[in-house]
Amino acid sequence: MDDNNDSPISEDDWGAAIAEQEKADAEAAARAAAAQAAPAVQSGASMFQEFGKAPATQTHNDIDFILDIPVQLTVELGRTKIAIKNLLQLAQGSVVELDGMAGEPMDVLVNGCLIAQGEVVVVNDKFGIRLTDIVTPAERIRKLNK
């Protein structure tokens, strides 16, 4: 250290920091030695007990963690099946008949799972959907079990 006292850290501060680091290094070495001395194979029960003992501060039941996860929302007008030869014959202006009827509610799917039905609306020259029926969680589970 130079004698100009330009640095706000004194030699005592450096000494305390070095002593603290040496103490932390000694504790880490002691833990490593204890880990080597411990048996290499633990019983499965003791491993699972340690794993299951999560502190309460690590458990979060906060929905904020998932709010920014993107999902694929699809509005389905209808479906149809056609043969490959008919698919290859499609050209600009071709009409494909769908199984959905005019005026019938559209299916709203999130990641391929039906969550609602609604009707098509136009807002500021863009298509949208007005939800008319939301599928309850119980109904979704019942459909998954079929």
Edge-to-edge, what's the strand order for the sheet holding 126-134?
73-76, 106-110, 113-123, 126-134
pTM surpassing 0.75?
no
Q: Phi first, then psi: what are they for 110, rounded to 5°? A: -120, 120
Over residues 13-21, mean pLDDT: 73
- Distance between alpha carbon 47 and the CA centroid of its chain, in Å? 27
Structure confidence at residue 73 (pLDDT): 92
Structure confidence at residue 131 (pLDDT): 93
Tell me the per-residue pLDDT of 28-68, one tens digit each, with 9 for 90 and over.
Answer: 778 777 766 655 555 555 555 555 555 555 555 677 888 88
Question: pLDDT confidence of 24, banded at 50, 70, 90?
Answer: confident
Tell me the per-residue pLDDT of 94-139, one tens digit each, with 9 for 90 and over.
Answer: 999 888 888 888 999 988 888 999 998 888 888 899 999 999 888 8
Report DSSP state, residue 10.
Answer: -
Whole-angstrom distance, CA of residue 88 vs CA of residue 90: 6
